[in-house]
Structure 1
Amino acid sequence: MGCDQSWDHEEASRVGTQVSFGLVQVITDLNAIPRGLFAAGSIVTIGAYDGLHVGHREIIEQVTKKAHADRQTSVLVTFSPHPAQILRPNEAPKLLTDRDQKLRLLESTGIDAVVVIAFDRIQAEETPEDFVKRVLVDALHVQRLIVGEDFCFGKDRRGNVELLLKLGGQYGFSVEPSHLVAGHDDVTASSTYIRSLVQNGDIEAANMYLGRQHELTGTVVHGDARGRTIGFPTANVEVSKALCEPGDGVYAGWYVRPARDGQPERVYPAAINIGRRPTFYVDAPVSLIEAHVIGETDIDLYGEVATLRFVARLRGEIKFSGIEELKAQLMRDVENAKTALASN
């Protein structure tokens, strides 16, 4: 039995087990399901669930409430990696949540079990009918299935609500399409739409649809230390290229240091710059993420894992005429960040 508390595709394929992450059973091998877990049947939802946004949470809430009322097991079935990374890697969307963040968020929903299907080219060839029989019926003993009304799955995305209703009649489970949630501007909550908001720098709208602050987790690496020389030291946070980064600009946010060496998690206010630093570089190839921890000038962050939570966009990226103009703006950025964070 494996003990990896993450959704690593290679590990899921190689080890294939059931593990526990807090209160959630994480199942990566349908042949290793704990005895009796689905003896009374299950209420299931299926999907990529990237971002765990407000629409996702509404569906999960329906699942958990009905499972509790019926004394059955609530289950979320998802895939790792994201199917698009296998089927169309050059067009795969940037992810709103990495695997560990998704698990943490799912733990807070009250779902009983998460089934992670290792997605590869072989899995992509499975027909919707075979998937339903193998996973939902034989393994999970599904009694009720709740999915978004636009849900598609299986080879060529041929599986949909209409087919599920037919298969439910054949195997004895009910299907309940869930109406997708509209946001404050009547746009339907979707991972695709939220990604576009994040990438365009509209963090406040993205956070509204997410129901939380968008965050990125990475490792603090050495940079050119230029910020320290002008009185604004920054932590250079390197994140996975698979994750959805906010558009270039300066943001108010929170810098989270993980619990370690007996110390609890520590959260600091921060001014976060994402960009190519045009004041110093003409053609920087990629944008960097640099976080200035407000009020702290002498803490060693190198090599640590850092989580950045984005609260508000303060301004776009600017090319300054010189160091003094840049420093003056950085002072304003820090004050503006403090103001933005005061109510968050």
Structure 2
Amino acid sequence: MQVYRDIEALTEVRDSVVAIGSFDGVHLGHRHILQWLCATAREKNLRSVVITFDPHPREVLQHDPAFFTINTLQKNLSLMEEQGVDAALVLPFTQALASCDYRDFLQRYVIDALHAKCLLMGPNHTVGYHKGGNGESIAHFCAERQVQVLPIPEYMMRESGVHSAAIREAIRKEDWKTVNELLGYAYEPHPNHSAEK
């Protein structure tokens, strides 16, 4: 998997299908999205690309001392590669990026930089300043630019979705059985994480 940290280096990426998110932990819900991403890429002869962020947006926006990431960025990227993703664009998450209108974000990164033909959207997914871009507004914006938006159904486990917040809570409780079940692999704590937070 190729990893890009600068859109100027994206000259070789053409005709892609894109998923956007933090993907912290690359848990079963994330893997569900990545499997759709890679399957769509194969079906349409496109490149599968993930746009993700470093640091995690919550570290910039919320300044919550109790927050911790499930994995390091490198671990998350390695797990994405295992799923067959072709490339990842890692954007520095800053206040400037957080203030970016969803239309500007989509135009600059998804359309102009990655030449996307398709954009995958999970349930309740939002993009841009104050979560301004929702499924409906993003679909309308993309349709005007000949980009197909593909809604992805939520991955369910025991009648509930799988979310990073639930995994962090299980880590705090040191409930490793639940952590590993939701992740889909054996969890390895990293130096930036503390279950005592």
TM-score by length of 2: 0.94
Q: Deviations over 1:7-61 (max 9, x none)?
A: xxxxxxxxxxxxxxxxx110111111143x21xx111100000010001001101
Q: Deviations over 1:200-236 (max 9, x none)?
A: 121111111100011123xxxxxxxxxxxxxxxxxxx
Partner residue in 2 for 1:26: 3
Q: Deviations over 1:144-198 (max 9, x none)?
A: 1112111112111111111111111111111122121121x32210001111112
Q: Distance in 1 between matches of 2:156 and 2:123?
A: 13
C-alpha contact 2:18 2:51 (8 A) present in aligned 1? yes
Q: Distance in 1 between matches of 2:55 and 2:195?
A: 22
Partner residue in 2 for 1:207: 180
Question: Structure 1's 189 and 135: CA in aligned 2 closer, same or farther, altered over 3 A?
Answer: same
Matches within 5 A, 1:281-320: none
Q: Distance in 2 between matches of 1:188 and 1:116?
A: 26
Q: Distance in 1 between matches of 2:136 and 2:149?
A: 9
Q: Which amino acid aligns with 2:164?
A: S
Return structure 1 stretches of 4+ with deviation > 4 angstroms: none
Alignment equivalent of 1:186, drawn from 146, 156, 159: 159
SS at structure 1 position matched to 2:155: coil
Question: Structure 1's 72 and 182: CA in aligned 2 closer, same or farther, altered over 3 A?
Answer: same
Cα root mean square deviation, aligned: 1.5
C-alpha contact 1:84 1:91 (8 A) present in aligned 2? no
Q: Give the % identical residues.
A: 29
Alignment equivalent of 2:117, drawn from 124, 143, 168: 143
Q: Which amino acid aligns with 1:212?
A: Y
Q: Which has the higher contact order (CA 8 A, sep 6+)?
A: 2
SS at structure 2 position matched to 1:44: strand
Matches within 5 A, 1:186-335: 186-217=159-190, 239-240=191-192, 243=193, 245-246=194-195
TM-score by length of 1: 0.55
Q: Distance in 2 between matches of 1:74 and 1:62?
A: 10
C-alpha contact 1:148 1:177 (8 A) present in aligned 2? yes
Aligned residues: 197
Q: Distance in 2 between matches of 1:154 and 1:135?
A: 12
Q: Which is richer in helix?
A: 2
SS at structure 2 position matched to 1:162: helix
Gaps of 5+ in 1: 1-23, 218-238, 248-285, 287-344
Partner residue in 1 for 2:71: 97
Alignment equivalent of 1:133, drawn from 91, 99, 107: 107
Q: Displacement of 1:65 after TM fit?
A: 1.1
Gaps of 5+ in 2: none
